[in-house]
Structure 1
């Protein structure tokens, strides 16, 4: 500890950061990198597998996930009501007024809109190549090609079926850019803040997909081979939505399957506070699928304040499409963000480039692309309308149709419980490489997990609560006026949506109005992030891992596999002020 008080932060990064891998998994993206890096790799958290390698049940499950469930009449009515409320606030025409005055297509004219990105029109993507050379026949092919060179007279030759084969699996963004005509099924192991477990997508397959994705990133992006991972430690920065069984599964993936020497778990909200050099803050993480709120006091997360809202950035993107179709500004193309993931990539890019919160009518000229089967990518220049409406859905969530996917066959998760017990009362075949002490028994027990405490309380799930009301409720639940005042003045917005222009001022204004009049609070402030809001939790996990390395919270691979984990102490960060001061050095050095 004395050494830590005198060491220069850059020296610590050099000594420890190069052997610490920080993993921050989310529903749509996973952020992975060495603690010594400035920013991590930000990679779509998905995988496609060749359908020939899947059984019929798994193939049907993935197809089910891609089905687009239309809004019910009741949802449509609520959505239209929310639009009109937002239109009144933003001083723009209501839906019916707009429709009555829009009997002809909009023309493309001068645009005075906000331009946050230089590549604002770059929403063009290309289909992924799904074929690779067949190593088995390569030597035979080479010999054959040598013999045929003399007879082909220099003309090109089509690859034979023996020379090329379909890739077994594809990860990351490449998995989202595969043509629907190709024989692949997309799998998303995490959805809406939980393992994407269903009747046809069992937890074993979810874990296998997580392992494959992370292993691919470690090899292809970080160039860390399995044989070298015993020299590395892993930091898992996990959202508060995961229950204990899910956390323990991810620890097993990291320690047993990926073969890291040691690992530690940090809460995402707490890591975000440290990532911005804060010891006390209300952390609001607006992810792609969910939004979480957690209050941190003196370097300790307060479980009773945690809330989960079932909407995020992708809901804004889908709402953007709905608004354009209603105003008849979207080209006559088949855009299906659930059935064609490449369309969601395009919508996300358009949202990031154009959407913002501001008063008055806000249109913009954009290039929209069409991705049709067996056709070249099409470009369509159009004038998009009401681009300030979709992000306001954060405050009026009935504007979103929350679930585009059909519900699972039965309830797999409960608000305050771990993964449904029924899914664990099954016999699973033991993997041949699984050591003693680490496999599922007939009653669903894992011998080393019974006494391993992770997060004492799951976050409360709220369905139709707006962001401002949720933030106010979370902070007021602390019950102490001095802490409440400090938290209302220390709101931290993180996640990609936090970059939306106009969001900070809107949060401050609407949270202030959401505070009950009998509360003695008159100031609300959103703090400016010291680093990219998309990666601040990952960065905080890196800082905590470097400063906290070697303490009792770290789990050794052998202990996890063979001996079980002893019950740990209560508050992990009793010296959080010291860690806070150390974290601040990273921004002042």
Structure 2
């Protein structure tokens, strides 16, 4: 896998990706979704990062990996209402409990047929996942309205009649032991499965209800399933492949080490290397210096990169993202009584969160004035045909403004695990000393691994504009600050929100203190899908990293972990060889 440097000076990156990308797999794990694919692909698979395992627990817990207490405190409720009214004033819409003047219809009871649909896309309901093994393919649906367009085989919705048939014959049929990806989110609540999400809010989702061993087993199972079933790379062929791990900046060293072990020891890749999302993003868009604003489903992070080197002191992590906007959409509609009278629970019914995400992506935007739309809202009761409710959704420009006023989102519904899980080196290693490895017996993997100091991380409950300004201004160099303020890049799924770019530019400019000599800000358009920029950059880095200093072989990792005597360690991609950066810009 070595490269000839003279050849690299003449070949274009797209040609390199085509030639060398077939045996490189890029893995970009996120809290809610994982982006994964061969480096030669134009775009990765984007799969919900979750697994549902069969359970015999009574009473059955629908989800194992989150706190089910989703009640909002009185203080949070008051702060949320205040944030709503501030946003309403900015957007020039009625306040939270204000009725539309000069109208015979109160705002909460507006006529549904008075508002045209916002788009022409027909809302198609999700269907319950088949949970039995060796099930013959379902007959084609005649109406075409009851299939899910997720690139997989369509299934008719489970009706009461055919559900009863399944129950009668279930004694002769075998449940699947686990179900991964979106199928795991579409399992009927009355089936014997418990949903797990191994990563939550940018960290391994370890808690008293979800042990480290379970988290790591679930990660390995999900990734193995994707590689085998989606990428057609069975385990016995993986020695021919290398893996590029593109990890969020929120991950700690211990978490990265565990993922390296999954890739090399469990999934049996021959080589792996680690890069961070912020740095990979500049390679994905081909810009050496930028302020990377990464807006995912559960975490938003800001970090500055100068000439191919990420600046760790500028990193700010914010505990909110796209899923919080989706839940805020539900709260807004319920307050205005525009949500149909159905049981929607984004915490214990994953299919309801899927529904809210879909509505958010289709209808939410940022712009002044009232933004309303007629949409089909689907309800999912246990084992029944999805219900369809034509509803007038209102104040659709309010939820995404929660990025700038996070008290609107009430994001801290998932308490983070104790920091001792990540900071206490001895405690964290306690269960590692007894791990078994094929042919080697128990081996202390980390015995020779140096203890790296945690990189500076800040988690602030501040708005996005303040976080961007704070991150850039922390560089303390006016020339760099001016360059960064004019080179902001919005990446992640939330970056696709209509109207977000001008909103960021306007609010960042206002967030800069008046004594700072900055008068211009600009968000640069992404050259590729913002949701996949870091994954694409990871593919480019894997091809261009011809020095191979950061690559770790499976044999070295299993035999001795990291041997500091030969100066081999996983690549801390805050620092990158200058000649690699120069090549990407040539």
TM-score normalized by the length of structure 2? 0.87
Alignment coverage as a number of residue pairs:
546
Note closer, same or farther for the CA distance 1:439–1:134 as it changes in structure 2 (3 Å cut).
farther
Please state if 1:96 is matched with 2:97.
yes
Match of 1:459 in 2: 457
Q: Equivalent residues in 2 for 1:164-203 (5 A)?
A: 164-203=173-212
Please state if 1:447 is matched with 2:425.
no
Structure 1 residue 66: Cα displacement: 6.0
Match of 1:85 in 2: 86
Match of 1:7 in 2: 11
3-state SS in 2 of match to 1:251: helix
Note closer, same or farther for the CA distance 1:507–1:403 as it changes in structure 2 (3 Å cut).
same
Note closer, same or farther for the CA distance 1:64–1:524 as it changes in structure 2 (3 Å cut).
closer
Q: Equivalent residues in 2 for 1:333-352 (5 A)?
A: 333-352=342-361
CA distance in 1, matches of 2:436, 2:377: 50
Structure 1 residue 458: Cα displacement: 3.9
Structure 1 residue 134: Cα displacement: 9.6
Contact 2:107 2:336 in 1 (8 A): no
Note closer, same or farther for the CA distance 1:328–1:315 as it changes in structure 2 (3 Å cut).
same
Structure 1 residue 199: Cα displacement: 1.2
Contact 1:438 1:446 in 2 (8 A): no
Match of 1:524 in 2: 521
Q: Equivalent residues in 2 for 1:560-575 (5 A)?
A: 560-565=557-562, 566=564, 567=567, 575=577
Q: Equivalent residues in 2 for 1:530-569 (5 A)?
A: 530-549=527-546, 551-565=548-562, 566=564, 567=567
Q: Equivalent residues in 2 for 1:181-580 (5 A)?
A: 181-405=190-414, 407=415, 411-413=417-419, 418-420=422-424, 423-424=427-428, 426-427=430-431, 430-434=434-438, 436=440, 439=443, 446-450=446-450, 457-462=455-460, 464-549=461-546, 551-565=548-562, 566=564, 567=567, 575-576=577-578, 578-580=579-581
Describe the superposition over 1:259-298 as per-residue Cα deviations: whole angstroms up to 9, x where unpaired.
0000000010000111000100000000000101110000
Contact 1:437 1:447 in 2 (8 A): no
Structure 1 residue 563: Cα displacement: 2.7
Contact 2:43 2:532 in 1 (8 A): yes
Contact 2:361 2:497 in 1 (8 A): yes
CA distance in 1, matches of 2:167, 2:462: 58
Describe the superposition over 1:287-336 as per-residue Cα deviations: whole angstroms up to 9, x where unpaired.
00010111000001100000100000000000000000000000000000
Q: For the aligned residues, what is the CA RMSD?
A: 2.7
Describe the superposition over 1:450-488 as per-residue Cα deviations: whole angstroms up to 9, x where unpaired.
36x5x85142111x2000000000000001001000000
Match of 1:150 in 2: none
Note closer, same or farther for the CA distance 1:161–1:556 as it changes in structure 2 (3 Å cut).
same
CA distance in 2, matches of 1:158, 1:249: 41
Unpaired segments ≥5 residues, structure 1: 136-155
CA distance in 2, matches of 1:349, 1:18: 33
Structure 1 residue 392: Cα displacement: 0.3
- Which range moved further: 211-220 or 7-16? 7-16
CA distance in 2, matches of 1:4, 1:133: 49
TM-score normalized by the length of structure 1? 0.87
Match of 1:127 in 2: 128
CA distance in 1, matches of 2:114, 2:583: 51
